Amino acid sequence: MEETLKELAVTLYDIQAIKFGAFTTKIGLKTPIYFDLRVIISYPKFMSRLTEILWRPVKDSAENVSQICGVPYTALPLATLISVENNIPLLIKRKEAKSYGTMKLIEGVYSPGDNCIIIEDVITSGSSILETVSVLRNEQLNVTQALVLIDREQGGKKELESHKIKVKSLYTVTTLMTYLLEAGKVTQKVVEDVKNYLKTNQVQNISVQGVPDDRLKLPYCKRAKLARNPLATTLLELMDRKLTNLCLAADLTKTDAILELANLAGPHIAVLKTHVDIVEDFSESFVRQLKELARQHEFLLMEDRKFGDIGNTVTLQYNCGIYRMSTWADLVTMHPVSGKDALYALKNDRDTTEPRGVFLVAEMSSEGALTSGEYLKSAVSMAEEAGDVVVGLVCQSNLSSQPGLLQLTPGVKLSKGGDKLGQRYKDPRSVVNAGADLAVVGRAITEAADKLAAVLQYKKLLWAAYEERTRNLYANT
């Protein structure tokens, strides 16, 4: 067996699935070793041998396996081969729910209680596996094991085991380096460089001990203690205290209308979201009155600016001009497109010492949005790495297992569908079940004949969905 593993390790190097040098990860971290396992799909016979060895540890007990599920996307071909060769049904976890039809996150045939094994190519923090496990467990599937090609030995295995996921890997980075050194593919210096890198670059994940292992299983009051951003703690505690997970989008053009709505809805909402660049009569007086209403009714202010420029420009947009958002907006939104340096500019360069937080826009509710694939994965990684700056993610599906990160979902309305400009709507219960902690309701309230009645209706439905989610998930642990 070891000779086979040595041979396969050399082949991985020869086909350039393993690379050495100076590389940068998607979230900006430097690394001397990089795995590009996507290339193995161009070597069918090699991929077949690799998957045969990967499956071998569980082959004798395969009769107890109902399905296998490959973590998208690199592991999908591996899982497909294992499925076909061993006659075990395959499940596919989508990166995001479809905006039409069944809107499912899991494709395939399954039943509650089925045993499902996860297939993955590489683990670093384990977050990709945890995201997949979370979705599968929400469908009442039993997931306790993951088969992995390479364990980077940076904390992912320990994190997964803390979530009751047993990990079996073909290789660790250490064993790979040993095999490649023996084969003369790398020098001792390269081995030492990688060894030192692993020692000093352990991923710091939040491990929840003694409580259920899914973000969705925890009530807001418990998650508040696990948040790294102080404002995330404040928001979770506020939601728990006020019994509301409603974020009201006050997309109105007159200050009097916004203030009237804020006063009316304030006792029943957690966050008031604005777009100040559409306000026609913006003034400092408006800001003072809005802040006073937020203090009086205990809600946070979010400016939906969606920053997306270089760090210096973002800093100027945040602090300067007529809006001076840093002086009054508790929360702002930002696209991750500019990278982590622009994100940290909002933390380090602002005209206030009061707590502030960022919601990173990972997914959008508009049809045809490009926030998908690798971009989406990078957005989630950035949020998890920068938890002291980031309060949460703007998204449409359950993207992160970290209990201290909130998920904010826009596009909520009682009736599903959309408008003529590509906006897609989902109902309150479906967005909460899909992972939303805060749900954004806008025109369904601002255009209602009785705005207070609409506020109360959405507040009630959203909170009931949250209570049902935590109650049902606790019952299954």
Residues 182 and 297 in one domain: no
Averaged over 388-397, what is the pLDDT? 89
In a domain, 436, yes or no: yes
- Whether the Cβ atoms of residue 240 and residue 219 lie closer than 8 Å to each other: yes
Q: Is residue 54 part of a domain?
A: yes
Task: Grade residue 125 by pLDDT with cuts at 50, 70 and 90.
Answer: confident
E strands within 308-389? 331-334, 357-361
Q: Where are the extended beta strands (E) located within 200-243? A: none
Amino acid, single-letter form, for residue 441? V
Q: Answer whether residue 44 is part of any domain.
A: yes
- Residue 349 Rama label (left phi>0; alpha psi -120 to 50; beta): beta
Do residues 196 and 228 both lie within one domain? Answer: no
Q: What percent of the chain has pLDDT over 90?
A: 60
Cβ 359 vs Cβ 408: under 8 Å: yes
**Residue 271 included in any domain:** yes
pLDDT value at residue 472: 58
Q: How much of the chain is in helix, strand and coil states, percent to nearest 5?
A: 45, 20, 35
360 shares a domain with 311: yes
Phi-psi region at 176: left, alpha or beta (left = phi > 0; alpha = psi -120 to 50): alpha
Q: Is there a single domain that holds both residue 184 and residue 240?
A: no
Instruction: Inform me whether the pLDDT recorded for 387 exceeds 50.
Output: yes
pLDDT of residue 208: 33
- CATH number for position 251: 3.20.20.70
Asked if 247 and 439 touch (Cβ cutoff 8 Å), the reply is yes
- Do 392 and 365 lie in one domain? The reply is yes
Residue corresponding to tokens 């009769």: 63
- Please enumerate, by residue number, every residue annotated as part of a binding site for substrate: 251, 273, 365, 423, 442-443
Looking at the structure, do residues 81 and 222 belong to the same domain, yes or no?
A: no
Residue 206 lies in a domain: no
Task: Give yes or no: residues 71 and 191 share one domain.
Answer: yes
Q: 153 lies in which domain range?
A: 1-200
> 348: how many CB neighbours lie within 10 A of its CB?
9
Which residues are 96's β-sheet partners?
none
| Cα 220–Cα 143–Cα 107 angle in degrees, nearest 5 | 90
Are 237 and 155 found together in one domain?
Answer: no
Q: Encode pLDDT of 20-33 as tens digits.
A: 998 865 445 678 99
Same domain, 126 and 247: no
In this structure, are 159 and 234 located in the same domain?
no
pLDDT value at position 103? 53
Final residue before a domain boundary, out of 171, 200, 229: 200
Domain boundary among 175, 200, 225: 200
pLDDT at 213: 42
DSSP state of 412: B
Domain boundary among 200, 224, 258: 200
Q: Could you give the CA distance from residue 71 to residue 225 in angstroms, rounded to a whole number?
A: 30
406-409 and 390-394 beta bridge pairing: parallel
CB 148 within 8 A of CB 121: yes
User: In the chain, pLDDT over 70 holds for what percent of residues?
Assistant: 89
On whether both 154 and 259 belong to a single domain, the answer is no
210 occurs within a structural domain = no
Q: What is the CATH number of the domain that holds 53?
A: 3.40.50.2020
Residue 205 placed within a domain = no
pTM: 0.59
**Residue 310 has which token pair?**
């270089």
Predicted confidence (pLDDT) per residue in 135-169, tens digit = 898 788 999 999 999 999 998 999 899 888 999 99
Q: Are the CB atoms for 49 and 8 separated by under 8 Å?
A: yes
Residue with the bigger pLDDT between 95 and 85: it is 85
Strands 106-107 and 90-93: antiparallel
Q: What's the mean pLDDT in 271-291?
A: 96
Which residues fall in the annotated binding site? 251, 273, 365, 423, 442-443
Running DSSP on this structure, what letter comes out for residue 442?
Answer: -
Backbone angles phi, psi at 410, to 5 degrees: -90, 175
Identify any residues that bridge with 35 across adjacent strands, giving them in sequence order. Answer: 18
Looking at the domain assignment, is residue 60 inside a domain?
Answer: yes
Name the residue type at position 223.
R
Q: What is the dihedral sign for C-alpha 287, 293, 295, 301?
A: negative
Which amino acids are annotated catalytic?
304, 306, 309
Q: Domain count of the chain?
A: 2
- The 10s digit of each residue's pLDDT in 323-333 is 999 999 999 99
The β-bridge relationship of strands 271-274 and 246-249 is parallel
Domain check: are 226 and 190 in the same one?
Answer: no
